[in-house]
Amino acid sequence: MYKVFVNDKPIIITSSQKKENNFPIHILKNTVSFEIVHKLRNRNIKGVNLYTPDLEKGWQEFLNSFKIVSAAGGLVLNDKKEVLFIYRNGIWDLPKGRIEKGEQIEEAAVREVEEECGIFDLKIIKPLLKTYHVYFQEGIKLKETFWFLMSSNYSKELVPQLEEGITKVVFKNDDEILEAFKNTYKNIELVYDTYKGQ
């Protein structure tokens, strides 16, 4: 299955006919993606299932209905296995940003983490996953974010990128992460759960 978040509410694209949640089910090929997005944005619906018999084909059709913006970021561990978080616009987040034209995905991930956090000596350990969310800026766009597990033994002071709305950059332990998850995005929890589940 694939998950795309609209204001933290999931659109679940699935080929399974088992009912695994209480969300309404729509047939993907009979659905206008923008209508679903607007329903999730404006109504009291918690999520939607879009059923397609061929998951990969259905997913491509869904993606084709959006302008896609690609980004990359990192879940960064220090030598104590704490995770690097940023506090941006009043919400705990992980560092990420747009991939620039001609830039490799891994390069963009490292550059964005460095710029947003003032951290260096980053090493990519492995790719983690891709997340998707819809945002509203000059129309509807779908952001696809490539996440990497990274490490750094950088021990100097971290510097938040204030011009990006980031006011804090801190490494958090497991208890502090659970606290931060009271004020974060579903995709960030997904990235962390993927890291923890490996």
What is residue 100's predicted lDDT score, i.e. its pLDDT?
A: 97
Query: Looking at 37-41, 105-109, 146-150, 178-182, which range is the least confident one?
Result: 37-41
pLDDT-derived band at 103, boundaries 50, 70, 90: very high
Q: What is the pLDDT of residue 42?
A: 84
Q: Taking residues 14-28, what's their average pLDDT?
A: 90
Tell me the pLDDT of the chain averaged across its residues: 95
Indicate yes or no: pTM above 0.75. Answer: yes
Q: All domains of the chain, ordered by start, with CATH?
A: 2-64 (no CATH), 72-196 (3.90.79.10)
CA distance 116 to 109: 11
Q: What average pLDDT does this structure show over 111-118?
A: 98
Among 10, 90, 20, CA closest to 47: 10
- 100 DSSP assignment: P
- The pLDDT confidence band at residue 17, using thresholds 50, 70 and 90, is confident
- Among 22-36, 50-64, 152-166, the minimum mean pLDDT is found in 22-36
Q: According to the model, what pLDDT value does residue 10 have?
A: 96
Nearest to 29 by CA among 57, 4, 8, 5: 57
In this prediction, residues 169-197 reach a mean pLDDT of 97
Spatial contact of 96 and 71, defined as CB atoms under 8 Å apart: yes
- Residue 153 has a CB neighbour count (10 Å cut-off) of 11
Query: Residues 9-35: what's their mean pLDDT?
Result: 91
